[in-house]
Every structure is written in structure tokens, then in C-alpha cells.
Amino acid sequence: MDFPDTALLNSRFGSPGKIACRAGENGLPIIAIANGSGSCEISLYGGHVLSYRPAGHLPVLFMSKAARFEPGHPIRGGIPVCWPWFGPHPTAPALPMHGFARILPWSLAATDYTSRSTEIRLVLTDSEQTHAWWPHRFHLTLRVALENALKVELTTRNSDKEPFTFTEALHSYFTVRQIMDVTVRGLEGATYSDKVTGTDGHLQETPVVVRQEVDRVYENTETECVIDDAGLGRQIVVAKQGSRTTVVWNPWIAKSKRMPDFGDEEYTRMICVETANDTGNAVTLDPGESHTLAAVLSADMKAEA
């Protein structure tokens, strides 16, 4: 897998104290951005946000200590980009889980900063390799803007001659102190399909708590979610635009043990609340059309904390 030289990236896109490129594990290029609002790191491999730390806070995103930074493997933590399908491919389960965007090298297209915002834009376009998995021409842009919140926008443009349909997710992993003390608000009244039991049509009556493996797809949900981390006295707000599906995932004990790139106990310190468009909310674009999926992440300590 070819990546540009980080010295070249720095001379073209870097800005001292604000935007810097470095070679991470196995030489995978990482862009670090920082300003008075916080800091964030993004990997060109996968177009993957690795970390986000608002000023004065502990890290917001979870990254497994066992994560692999190796071409061909998705990175366990941060914000994997699931695209152009979410989960297993609907008809060809041997194709990469959650699509291919998270296991391909993206290009750094632009960086910019103002007094209030530092941002970068990465691009992924179709290639012979992607045509082997998905027969369409596309132009994908990931914009990451560090402001008083972290804005992550995934824009899909159909550069093909035919319409295409895709599903997608910004599969964000959040750090919590202790999962038993966490509730997720904002999904009350929504219905979900339960991927653990393979059943549909469940009503979410109360805020979500995790006491076992949770893998739920809530369709037709456009409101923000609040991860209430009572252990840390912190609330993480996951707001979104262009997303009609929310996915909540925690692998719990047995599945954690089955995942080679995830520690056996790490399920106690994370939860995924994913900004998505899955099955019933799949997106169809005509040639030349674009669609943007956006997640806006912020953290607040509770007044009494």
C-alpha cells in the first residue's frame, strides 16, 4: 500500500502548532490537528479519526490497546468509516465487513484553519481495486473540523453514469469510565432490530443501558444521542445530520474474547454510538448527486461533577 512521504505532506499541508503529519505504526501517515478547542488525529489509512480530545477533557474516543495498524485490517477504535455497505455485504458475505473505505489509503486533499476552526479534507475515489468489490465510480470526501465540537462529514458523490445505492456509518467508539454506569439517551420511542438475536421491531422504551452484548440498529432516528457517563461525570453528545439510522454496539464478554484486536476487559470502557444510514435508510444517488452524513461530537462535564 503506497502512502505519500510525510515530509512532503508537511511541507504542503502542515502549519506549525496546528497541523502536522507524521508516520505512525508501520509507516501509516497520521495527521494531527490542534487548536484552543482541543486536538484530533486522523489516519490516511482508512480515512480514520483516531483520537479526539477537547481542551480540558479526557479523550472522548476509545482506541483498543490491541488495535492493529496494518494495511488490510480495520483499526479497532476511533471512527472507522463504513462505506459503501454497513455490516456484512447483503449478498456477498465474503466481501469486506463494513465495506472497503476503512481498509484503503485515502489522500490528503486540503487543510485549512481560522481562529475558530482547524480542518482537513481527505478523499477516496474508485479504482480497479474498488471496482472488484463494487462496480461504481464515486468520489468520497471526509472533512474533519476541530471547533468547539468535532465535526466529521462524509460526503458521497456519484461520479458514475448510473444511480447507485449505499449504506454507511461513522462507527464512533466512545471512551467511558465503566459501562455499568452509562446510559444512552435519545433513542426512547424508536424501534430497533437486534443483531444479537436476529429479531426486529423492538421498542426502545427507556434510555439504553448495557448489561449484555448489545448490537442494535435503530432506523428512522434523526435526533442526537447523549452518552451519560455517570462514572466520569461526563456527557458526550452525538449530534448528526444526513443520518436516519443510529447503531449502538458493545461486544460484552464472549465477543470481546473472540476479537483478536480487542482486549478481553475493554468492553467495560467503551460504547459505540454510530451515525449511520442502514438498510431501510439506504441512500440512492443519481449521477452527479451528493449526500453528506455528519456526526458532531462534543463533551461536557456535568455541573455537579
Indicate which residues carry an active-site annotation.
171, 274
Residues 276-305 that bind ligand BG6 (CB under 6 A): none
74 counts as binding ligand BG6 under rule CB under 6 A: yes
Q: Min. distance of Cβ 167 from ligand BG6 in angstroms?
A: 11
Instruction: Please select the residue that binds ligand BG6; options are 249, 266, 293, 295, rule is CB under 6 A.
Output: 249
Q: Min. distance of Cβ 152 from ligand BG6 in angstroms?
A: 16
Are 79 and 152 in contact by the 8 Å Cβ rule? The answer is yes
Q: Min. distance of Cβ 245 from ligand BG6 in angstroms?
A: 10
12's CB contacts (< 8 A; 6+ apart) are none
Are 200 and 280 in contact by the 8 Å Cβ rule? The answer is no
Q: Which is nearer to ligand BG6, 19 or 208 (CB)?
A: 208
Instruction: Please select the residue that binds ligand BG6; options are 153, 215, 228, 266, rule is CB under 6 A.
Output: 215
DSSP state, residue 103: G
DSSP state, residue 258: H
What track of x and - describes contact with ligand BG6 for positions 143 through 182 (by CB under 6 A)? ----------------------------x-----------
Q: Min. distance of Cβ 192 from ligand BG6 in angstroms?
A: 11
213 counts as binding ligand BG6 under rule CB under 6 A: no
Helices (H) and strands (E) in the chain, counts: 3, 22
202's CB contacts (< 8 A; 6+ apart) are 191, 192, 193, 194, 216
Q: Which is nearer to ligand BG6, 218 or 249 (CB)?
A: 249
195 counts as binding ligand BG6 under rule CB under 6 A: yes
Q: Residue 280: CA atoms inside 13 Å, Cβ hemisphere, count?
A: 13
DSSP state, residue 218: E
Q: Residue 30: CA atoms inside 13 Å, Cβ hemisphere, count?
A: 14
Grid cell for residue 123: 478523499
Instruction: Please select the residue that binds ligand BG6; options are 153, 168, 228, 274, rule is CB under 6 A.
Output: 274
23's CB contacts (< 8 A; 6+ apart) are 6, 29, 30
What track of x and - describes contact with ligand BG6 for positions 218 through 247 (by CB under 6 A)? -----------------------------x
Contact residues toward ligand BG6 (CB under 6 A) are 74, 87, 97-98, 171, 195, 215, 247, 249, 274
